[in-house]
Chain A
């Protein structure tokens, strides 16, 4: 098991390296550069040249990449080219915000989705099953910004229960954070519940067709007990991987929700910095996102192996 984890971590580092090269090439391919993005239509050839010189953009791309890599290997993520602030101090509060919102949404969404999925499986074909299916399909089919605007219109503006601006600051207390981030959280929950719930329902139901479940039914066990105790453990592996996928989405894919609710998270930062070609910050954000995917996928695999002893023995 330890070997497996170490092996996966090693591969993860290689993947990160590859990702950083891809991100760098990506930002280089984009037309324009930081200097032109900052000065826009108030650029004169002289001020552009001076700014490029100040930012070190006159040096070849390959040198800039290895400089950056050298810094990172020494724990120095560099400084934002645009405002000179240390990349880590720039990112840290944003990252904390992103993780907070992701955790907030996950804590509500994962139990809710699995619970609904199990209930739907137990009541397969019943009214509840159909209602849940239809409702979650609706929420996943509507674009997230539209859900967000609906929530703002009815819950924030008309009823005035929750604020439409989730502009949390480092001084905001935990309880206030829960309050401010409530609508973004609900939006995210609505977006991800369907996927996890349907996977739970489908994989439980597929296990329900196996002979040992028939045995359990014949033994006279209650349906709920069969589903929770006998079917669920064997249906866990696909559910875990779908949950991991959705958790990753909560961290890396929420830029639209952040924008609509003015929530200062990483996605918003990355979009800003990509449009300005501020490479060190883009790289750092990209690495965080890539690492999130790698770690979550690894965790999902390990949990899947733990939940299914058959996977522990390589064939």
Chain B
């Protein structure tokens, strides 16, 4: 190694100043060009190496004055992001789509994946000084079981027992084998608090930050009070969240530099924003998908030809372009997104075909079936427009679709799961089998399409019980093909998550799970100097 390389190495490590490096390099006879190249590469590298310190200002949509720090109540971005700043989970859904250790350092199935053993990390302290042990994990997981009001209750429905094996080991038992249980535990409702903890106004967690101020629906501030146990996370000194539910206000705050990063960038503005030199768009294709759900046991949707006619009469490209400005991918009438490892690549993409739709409609042989789509923007912003687009594209195939705009209030309680043809959406699930179980298993409470097929149930059970990935693939592919061909869900579009941040923010990376790095922005982000 030459003298110059030695000094270059020192520079990259930040062990010498730029001024000193220039002096040394010049003394060693390096050309000005060589020196400036080395300096530039050192700068670029410094920009990519996380730095400690600074306060990140987030402007987030998806907050409300009714928000609470109670993990069981989380249902939108602001609290999901905050939760990941205050608490840690058991397992994290990694960017590679796989479960990664969080407070559990390892996990393995037992008893044919009917039981799961989680080995917990040792020596992790809560913010009150108490050590994290099995009792805390069990208490925290049980918040979502039994007599609970938790939004995460459905995740824990198959869990029959959680027991302590020793101080740092727990066993979760299920009512049937599930090779994908660790994926399920990446649910954002899972935040670990000390055993018996109840006072959510003063949260105690193992997370990177402590709560400083909490004004629900307005702002939340967190500050770092101690070193985080994850060596590569928790860089910031503090975080200021301003709740900005209006998307233009959010954008303006970012452009005028009052906020460092925002979620849910209006897709219509992305093209404009990407021209701006001082900010970056973070785009992640994910599992969020729009659904128009037909109940397979109710007339006229009990007729498979009617279902097929409506699927063929849906102009997916148009819906993607009109409602999402193209930021997403077209769906293929099954809920597995193209970036999922178990996505069926060989299944042909369904396309808008008015002639085939008309033929299928004719084959159904029904005279004037009443097709009524109940849509509401409570499902997602644009659901009513989606209905109107279906109405227009179907009429070209000679199919009459009536559209009823339902009030947003009480939509999920009164219309969804009750109406025979209803607009809805699904956030992505970490594992394909999870998504298929939660919405398409015959006995699932959220089986919105009333899909109940013996062969499908068998495939699903086989897939869940099979820990060998190569062997599971054909099961999961087959299920996608079945839903595509016979299922009751029209799935026109998978939406991209769109965030944006100023150039000075580092560590804000795309994740298909949810906006703001699947809600982990507070742990991962850092500020460039």
| A residues lining the B interface (CB < 8 Å) | 30-33, 35-48, 50-51, 54, 80, 82-85, 90, 93, 149, 152-153, 156-157, 160, 163-165, 167, 169, 259-262, 264, 268-269, 272-273, 275-278, 281
Chain B residues with Cβ below 8 Å from A163 are: 256, 258
Whether A40 pairs with B253 at a CB distance below 8 angstroms is no
Residue of B nearest to A53 (CB): B149
Whether B64 pairs with A41 at a CB distance below 8 angstroms is no
Whether B413 pairs with A36 at a CB distance below 8 angstroms is yes
CA distance A157 to B269 in the complex (A): 15
Q: Is B147 an interface residue (CB 8 A)?
A: yes
Residue of B nearest to A158 (CB): B256
Count residues on chain B whose CB falls below 8 Å from chain A CBs.
48
CA distance A164 to B256 in the complex (A): 8
Whether B410 pairs with A43 at a CB distance below 8 angstroms is no
Residue of B nearest to A163 (CB): B258
B495 to nearest A CB, angstroms?
A: 16
Chain B residues with Cβ below 8 Å from A51 are: 149
CA distance A157 to B254 in the complex (A): 10
Contact residue among A46, A93, A272 (Cβ-Cβ distance under 8 Å from B66): A272
CA distance A169 to B221 in the complex (A): 12
A46 with B153, Cβ < 8 A, contacts A83-B216, A163-B258 known: yes
Contact residue among A35, A36, A260 (Cβ-Cβ distance under 8 Å from B246): A260
Whether A41 pairs with B412 at a CB distance below 8 angstroms is yes
A246 to nearest B CB, angstroms?
A: 24
Q: Is B520 an interface residue (CB 8 A)?
A: no
B394-414 near A? 1/0 per residue, CB < 8 Å? 000000000000011111111
A29 to nearest B CB, angstroms?
A: 10
Whether B409 pairs with A164 at a CB distance below 8 angstroms is no
Q: Is B65 an interface residue (CB 8 A)?
A: yes
B449 to nearest A CB, angstroms?
A: 14
Chain B residues with Cβ below 8 Å from A268 are: 65, 217
Chain A residues with Cβ below 8 Å from B147 are: 46, 50
Contact residue among A43, A44, A164 (Cβ-Cβ distance under 8 Å from B249): A164
Residue of A nearest to B64 (CB): A272
Give me the 3 closest cross-chain CB pairs, A-B, nearest first: A32-B410, A82-B66, A31-B410
Residue of A nearest to B66 (CB): A82
- Stretch from B4-12, B67-75, B96-104, B175-183 contacting the other chain: B67-75
B172 to nearest A CB, angstroms?
A: 19
B64 to nearest A CB, angstroms?
A: 5
B235-252 near A? 1/0 per residue, CB < 8 Å? 000000011111011001
B407-425 near A? 1/0 per residue, CB < 8 Å? 1111111101000000011
CA distance A128 to B424 in the complex (A): 56
Chain A residues with Cβ below 8 Å from B243 are: 262
Whether B407 pairs with A31 at a CB distance below 8 angstroms is yes
A152 with B412, Cβ < 8 A, contacts A50-B147, A50-B148, A167-B219 known: no
Whether B149 pairs with A47 at a CB distance below 8 angstroms is yes
B181 to nearest A CB, angstroms?
A: 19
A165 with B242, Cβ < 8 A, contacts A32-B409, A275-B409 known: yes
Chain A residues with Cβ below 8 Å from B248 are: 149, 152, 260
Whether B75 pairs with A39 at a CB distance below 8 angstroms is yes
B9 to nearest A CB, angstroms?
A: 42
Whether B256 pairs with A156 at a CB distance below 8 angstroms is yes
Contact residue among B64, B253, B413 (Cβ-Cβ distance under 8 Å from A276): B64
Whether B413 pairs with A32 at a CB distance below 8 angstroms is yes
A84 with B68, Cβ < 8 A, contacts A43-B413, A260-B246 known: yes
Chain B residues with Cβ below 8 Å from A90 are: 65
A212 to nearest B CB, angstroms?
A: 53
CA distance A38 to B249 in the complex (A): 25
Chain B residues with Cβ below 8 Å from A259 are: 245-246, 249
CA distance A44 to B249 in the complex (A): 35
CA distance A85 to B66 in the complex (A): 9
A44 with B409, Cβ < 8 A, contacts A84-B68, A157-B252, A165-B253 known: no
A268 to nearest B CB, angstroms?
A: 8
Contact residue among A37, A41, A169, A276 (Cβ-Cβ distance under 8 Å from B446): A41
Whether A272 pairs with B242 at a CB distance below 8 angstroms is no
B193-233 near A? 1/0 per residue, CB < 8 Å? 00000000000000000000001111100000000000000
Chain B residues with Cβ below 8 Å from A93 are: 215
Whether B148 pairs with A157 at a CB distance below 8 angstroms is no
Whether A272 pairs with B219 at a CB distance below 8 angstroms is no
Q: Is B150 an interface residue (CB 8 A)?
A: yes
Whether A44 pairs with B253 at a CB distance below 8 angstroms is no
A89 to nearest B CB, angstroms?
A: 11
A144 to nearest B CB, angstroms?
A: 13
Chain A to chain B contacts (Cβ below 8 Å), 22 pairs:
A31-B409, A32-B414, A39-B151, A41-B416, A41-B424, A42-B151, A42-B152, A43-B413, A44-B154, A50-B147, A54-B149, A83-B65, A83-B66, A83-B216, A152-B248, A160-B256, A259-B245, A260-B246, A262-B242, A262-B246, A262-B249, A272-B66
Interface centre among B154, B218, B246 (most CB of A within 10 A): B218
Interface centre among A50, A262, A275 (most CB of B within 10 A): A262
Whether B258 pairs with A38 at a CB distance below 8 angstroms is no
A31 with B414, Cβ < 8 A, contacts A50-B149, A164-B256 known: yes
Residue of A nearest to B408 (CB): A275
Residues of chain B in range 145-184 having any CB-CB distance to chain A below 8 Å: 147-154, 157
A161 to nearest B CB, angstroms?
A: 10
Interface centre among B65, B152, B407 (most CB of A within 10 A): B65
